[in-house]
Amino acid sequence: MLSNYTVDKPRKSGRRISVSVVGLLLLLGAGIYVYSYMKIHRAGSSASQAVTFSVPKGATTREVGQSLDDQELISGYRLFVLYASFTGQSGKIQAGDYALDLQMSMKEILATLASGKVTRNQKKAVMVEGWNNDQVRAKLVELGLVSEGQFNSALNASYDFKFSGDAKNHDYLGYLFPDTYQVNASLDAEGIIQLMLANFESRVTDKMLADMAAKGLAMHEVVTLASIIEREVGRNGDIAITNAVRAEMQRERQVVASVFYNRLEIGMPLQSDATVNFATGKADRRALLSDLEVDSPYNTYKNTGLPPGAISNPGVGSIMAAIYPADSDFLYFLHDPAGVAYFGRNLAEHNSNRGKYLD
């Protein structure tokens, strides 16, 4: 009879549909999670570019997120709002100006804004390649970050620095790495010097140290030579420093380094005007004939070998040139009025260059 029959196939089909829907929802959820995770943790750009971002007083998390999105610091302000709420940082974003970067991820940006580390208590300190310690001190004093006495005392302190031995013996000259620093106004002179030394340490890679060791070079020798190269290579102030000029100057640094190494190898004095001017305290590129008679271990016209220590704080280009000089047989060089260097293998070639570019 018909009453003895049961129909269960539709129920079974319903269960299958339910399982499929759950599976699709789980797959969709996993996709959304992966997408959101990548958007939150991935850098906004592969290229670094500093950006000052302002959070107005009383701005909501949504308004901050929208502004970040408009400036292309993040992609998707709604996710920013959700993430801030989920992590409990929504109400912690503080008003002020912040130093951000296009390479920062959404997570890093939110952490910065919630930390309140605004830039109003920082000062930009530009330390120029080739400056000596007196010039570094003058800039810091000018910015109101230190007094002369505080800086001088800090040069006598000990620091957590890999190359501290030789560096301290020469008041860290050569090791105060030239760069653009954002210095917190609360940082004292010792803190600023530690910052610059740490920067130097970070620029000297393990490969550079290994290559120096393979060549029998000590860090103090490299820094001393680099400091001379830094002062010997440059352009006059009216020359625009384009990327092409920078590349040309780096090639000159490497060839100048080769000249000095060639002279050291045969016991010939370096005859660097830069070291003489360091001894006399003059800022000129060329030394006067009368200056060449100064009685100083830094007078490389009267003394052979390297001087006792650095004469300036060199940039990474000059440090690299001191480690990786050009392969040349040049023994002489001079600069034309624009600052371009010309090289000679012997005194005859040097005098010829003098007649072409100086007389």
Structure confidence by residue, pLDDT tens digits, 294-303:
999 999 999 9
Q: How is domain 50-117 classified at the CATH fold level?
A: Dna Ligase; domain 1 (3.30.1490)
Q: For residue 5, what pLDDT band results from cuts at 50, 70 and 90?
A: very low
Asked whether the predicted pLDDT for residue 8 surpasses 70, the reply is no
Domain ranges of the chain: 50-117, 121-203, 206-357
- Ordered alpha helix ranges (H), 42-185: 61-70, 77-86, 106-115, 133-142, 148-154, 164-169
Structure confidence by residue, pLDDT tens digits, 237-290:
778 889 999 999 999 999 999 999 999 999 999 999 999 999 998 877 788 888
The pLDDT value recorded for residue 209 is 96
- CB under 8 Å to 254, separation ≥6 — which residues? 321, 324, 325, 326
Structure confidence by residue, pLDDT tens digits, 149-203:
999 999 999 998 999 888 999 999 999 999 999 887 778 999 999 999 999 999 9
The pLDDT value recorded for residue 14 is 59
Residues 193 and 159 sit within 8 Å (Cβ to Cβ): yes
Determine if the pTM surpasses 0.75: no
- Which candidate, 171, 165, 164, 170, places its Cα nearest to that of 137? 171
The pLDDT value recorded for residue 159 is 93
The pLDDT value recorded for residue 91 is 76
More confident residue, 6 or 85: 85
Asked whether the predicted pLDDT for residue 32 surpasses 70, the reply is no
d(CA 174, CA 131) in angstroms, rounded, equals 9
